Structure 1
Amino acid sequence: MTLLVEKELYHLVNNLSETYFNKPFQHDVRYNHRLRTTGGRYIPAKRLIELNPKYATEMDENEFIGIIKHELCHYHLHIEGKGYKHRDKDFRKLLKETGSPRHCSPLPSEKKDYRYRYTCKKCNRAYNRRRRVDVKKYRCGKCHGELVFKEKREA
């Protein structure tokens, strides 16, 4: 999916709002290029939905539409004065009714690979880490066995 211009993005959000919520979307929506770990967010004070543009370009259309539906759940519940936060019963109920996802999938570009591999002497559990670990200081989280350095991969 390509990045939509502001008018197209607003029309997409409004169409999804009318389709799934039977209510119009009457406020602002825009891309926020600074979002990294989330697909979007709703800002209640501004009644603004911000979307991560990487999800529009890197992921499939269904993932992006799911993010918009999730943010619309926050939006409509806030407008109605109901519980719009993740922990609220109203929010979880509306997510189910509209088929919106609770969380978005991680971006392929943000997936980090490991460089160092350690194993436990006792239970042979493997630990992959991006940074080096002091094997004298840390132990296995499962059996408290001693960790042994196995390999270093080149990045």
Structure 2
Amino acid sequence: MEQKALQKLVEEVSIDFFELPFRHQATFNARLKTTGGRYFLQSHHLDFNPQVLEKFGMETLIGVIKHELCHYHLHLAGKGHQHKDREFKALLKKVGGLRYVPSMKEAGADEWIQLWKYQCQKCGTNVRRKRRFNTNKYVCSNCKGAFKLLGREEVQL
């Protein structure tokens, strides 16, 4: 689907389900990874994740569009537009929008993470950290010994 088709779809969904026009810009944003869409409070534009259409189809995309249009119309009306607000929840239920987008992760896909591995030179305790730290500044909590950086290590979550 192209940007023009998405814009037209968002405008049609807005008229059909909210009976209000959508007068701003709707675009696909391939940089979105974990969310289905995004509403911008300042410009009132909408961004959508193209993977939602590819992985889950048109019905799910329309559910995400309804969700973002709830934010849009409630914000412009000066009502509660946040997920926690009663007005948002009621409008989302009324129009049949999605509360959550299905998980974008591949089913059964293993996740790996790289960690920094340190070893205490006094007691031999091994420590793993996401972020590297200064071994001159920090000491072992067990024995107050100095750490030695051993390198990076991949760990499965």
Q: Given the two structures, how large is their TM-score scaled by the length of structure 2?
A: 0.68
For 1:1-150, list aligned pairs within 5 A. Answer: 4-109=1-106, 112-113=109-110, 130=112
- Aligned-pair CA distance for 1:107: 2.2
Q: Let me know the Cα RMSD of the aligned residues.
A: 2.5
Question: Radius of gyration: which is bigger?
Answer: 2
CA contact (8 A) 1:29 1:50 kept: yes
Distance 2:67 2:48 in 1: 11
Distance 1:101 1:111 in 2: 24
Structure 1 residue runs of 4+, over 4 Å off?
none
- Aligned-pair CA distance for 1:56: 1.4
- Aligned-pair CA distance for 1:65: 0.7
- Amino acid of the residue matched to residue 37 of structure 1? T
Give the match for residue 123 of structure 2. none
Change (3 A) 1:7 1:83: same
CA contact (8 A) 1:17 1:24 kept: yes
Identity %: 39
Distance 2:22 2:38 in 1: 15
Q: Given the two structures, how large is their TM-score scaled by the length of structure 1?
A: 0.69
- Amino acid of the residue matched to residue 98 of structure 1? V
Distance 1:36 1:108 in 2: 9
Query: How many residue pairs end up in the alignment?
Result: 119
